[in-house]
Amino acid sequence: MKIKHLSCKVRGGKLLNTSIRNKLLVTAIFLLSIFLVACGNQQQNNEEKPKNGSEKASQERVLTDALGHEVTIPANPERVIASYLEDHLIALGITPVAQWSVNNGASIQNYLQDSLKDIPTIPFDLPFEAVTSFNPDLIIVSSAETVEGGKYEQYNKIAPTFVLENEANASWREKLLKVAEIFDKNEKADEVLQQYDQLVEESKEKIHNAVGTQSAAAIWIVNNTVYMVSETASSGAVLYGELGLTAPSLVKEISESATGDWSPVSLEKLAELDADHLFLINSDVGNGAEMLRDPLWANIPAVKNGNVHEFAKDTSWLYSGPIANSQIIHDVVKSIVK
């Protein structure tokens, strides 16, 4: 009986040892697999990670600007100066390091200040000292005129400098797409344009249902002088080209000889304006434009019919871009769709 009992204990011990060995073997295999996976991931990470700073170099791109310069666009530029292109930058989700201004910061693009309120100003003519003080890593200038007389070389010593256009009549859409290309944000630009075009289509339908194709004109009063917007520029392009309102004969006449977006027009000539609606950007608010008390003004059809829609100078009517134009469209709809 004792021998039999001892035999059972030995057999039980063998079973116990076998079980332990199996568990240890499984554990070892499991740990080995984890080790091999970790080594594989580390090797993959080492292969993907560029050496000697090549990661930054691989993200840099060389683009040719409007003047034929091959410009190396830095990877992820963070300190951008693009004076008078802030509308396009903000639409693409980019905040500049400085914003356009006139008269030592007295005049700025007020309609953009929700996004630029904490951004310091820089003079519109981009003095070299002012540009240098912001330590930019990329400079974008809106036209070739800005860099005439050897200025390009000076700017390019400060930071890579890209000239956006060689012609002053490039559309805001073309500018937006070019700015997007510089920052590799083409998909974002397409999204901005799609949203804008949808706004145009919806607003055009509302306006057509409310007033059909009635005529309209936009004028700007500053220092008691009247300027009329051209048919195909600035807010004129929005009113006529996109919203489908009719350009009065006087607008067409002024536009034929226009050399800029806004052209001066005398009050006597303005009295001929046969517009159903008049959009007035009044920079003389507070000072009192004398012409608004003149009988010639009172006899303009839109004035007599109470269809003058007045806006202050800090609105977007004097500018152009996806944000400016969208705000203009909202203003027009609010004014004439009852």
Dump pLDDT digits (tens) for 275-334: 999 999 999 976 667 889 899 999 999 999 999 999 999 999 999 999 999 999 999 999
Write out pLDDT tens, residues 20-68.
Answer: 555 555 454 555 555 454 555 555 554 444 444 444 445 899 999 999 9
CATH number of 196-336: 3.40.50.1980
Average pLDDT over residues 172-183: 96
- What CA–CA distance (Å, rounded) separates 91 from 320? 12
> What is the per-residue DSSP string for 163-195?
E--SSTT--HHHHHHHHHHHTT-HHHHHHHHHH
| Residue 275 CB coordination number (10 Å) | 26
- CA 16, 20, 23, 29 dihedral sign is negative
Residue given tokens 């769709």 in the structure block: 337
Sequence spans of domains, the chain: 1-49, 58-184, 196-336
- Sheet with 161-163: list strands edge to edge: 80-81, 138-141, 161-163
223: left (phi over 0), alpha (psi -120 to 50) or beta: left
Write out pLDDT tens, residues 201-246.
Answer: 999 999 999 999 999 999 999 998 999 999 999 999 999 999 999 9
Q: Which CATH architecture has domain 58-184?
A: 3-Layer(aba) Sandwich (3.40)
The reported pTM is 0.82
- What CA–CA distance (Å, rounded) separates 38 from 89? 43
- What CA–CA distance (Å, rounded) separates 161 from 155? 6
DSSP character for 248?
A: P
